[in-house]
A and B are shown apart, each in its own frame.
Chain A
């Protein structure tokens, strides 16, 4: 049995997590409740984050940057009209998570905290250069998405810390897209790709998901590719740089070797998809 506590503020939630050594924060519960029912985790207390106003909603700040409260449901992210242009990739990723039931339940903070390597948000957030706002017993701090995943299901979150929000730079008018290859619609990704074109159309940002403990992004290779997007060989060289960073699993969704082969396919197909968007626009 787990005791459910429902704090009204981030400070209270952090205090409750500090007080009970085997407590776990409960966000949407889409994953955690299933894991608990399967006996994979046995928290003595579930600290329900659902009653904390600060964790809700999507807001624009004065500079146009976007702050997504950690408890924002996937369905709300998938329908958010503020996520345009370079940030559309995040909206698309949210809309491809699992199924409607899970999207109505699951939250961005919960998904990011769980850091499943095959889940959809991490590559999209890496593509958007997101920053995580977290709160814990030592106070509040920010973590770049690029420093966040530290191993398989291991993150920069310290004991007792929770994610309070995900912040994104202001969207710019440039196409972006998310694609995942999965066994069936709604499954975790076998491999996925989040990509955004630079506003001038000469370069891109791309992150590969499900091919290592965290999203794969190579900003040096992106710099090399800049100005050469119409050179297929340069694009394949870029994909090879990302594949070199990969450390894929062999599992029911695909072999490690198959995943490595998907990386260049994803890069070239998503690039042609967003190039088409540019032509239409």
Chain B
């Protein structure tokens, strides 16, 4: 059954977008998109159950046989990503932002939902497809949609950030396209598994090494790996808060999957980490990201910017897991995809609540807000603790497996550095918590009139906060799937 409707995972949101454009009714579009995403989530979960334990579901678009036709191919790795993206989309879309993004008037709100659906379709497409060029197309669909979404933020700088994001993202996309072209030249095929089977990477083959370089740099831009992260803090802090929550929870995660897939499935761990020794670059960059981005987060006075810099640091943890190239570390990186999506998505939704009630998320404006909005503030604390990696939260789970993976590899210094970087997270989270609970509200602030956020906002934020605790205590599902995915990747499969 599920293998017959697998393609709907992408087709439904892709076709729901024009339906929204045609119907032009904001309320309809809101619930329609929510319904579509709910169906996608159901398909993703069904797929995950189907492929757990090494199964694979394949779909031939248009009835054309792979490797000539485009194949959608779902294994544990893809199903995990699909479930992650659709779950986050579901929670974020159910967040009632009371009037949508500030830039979009009522009569144009249907377009906002259409763009949101296109973004989801693009991300799901990247995760599901088994065709290299198809990935590029979906990458650009999701990127173009996210540039638009970012530009809808209320502040004038949102448009400028979207422009930067567009320039960086397009360069990344073109790099990716060139990399795919070189691979096609090398192997004569675009099917990922076929490329992997035919490619015999060696250091003497400059075309292959160049392809790897282009792909890695291109994806790294989209993933915001440390020195290429420049677009991210601005984009996340000026986008509408709901959009920040969605992008922070999904976009970089899908890029991470793409990077892992290129490194492990196409080129294979023996070449990338044995011959080429990519970890010599990836590991220092990850550690730099953890420290410099966390350090930058400490000095931010705006909660959104703080969280955005923290996102760059968290990408560092993920790529650190990648560079260990062993099952534990890679599983740690993969499980951090989900864990970070849950906590950062939740935190950005909390930001949306605060923005709605307080009107600003400047740290000073949040002084003493813990008494006025106790539930929102509590969700903020849970997310913050999870960022630090306190036991009992998802952040701890990620760091535990990351540290185990790093130690397994024998990199004791890196393990120590992971723990030290948590101290930086403690500082920036502590700064927020201190302001929210222990600082006296500034005199000028009309803080007495601030009430708890409405239920439609609070509930989704709390779903993610609760998930951050729940999956911090029960790791069977998340780590189980991630471990299986990691082993699959290391074996060169998808």
Decide whether A and B assemble into one complex: no
B residues lining the A interface (CB < 8 Å): none
A residues lining the B interface (CB < 8 Å): none
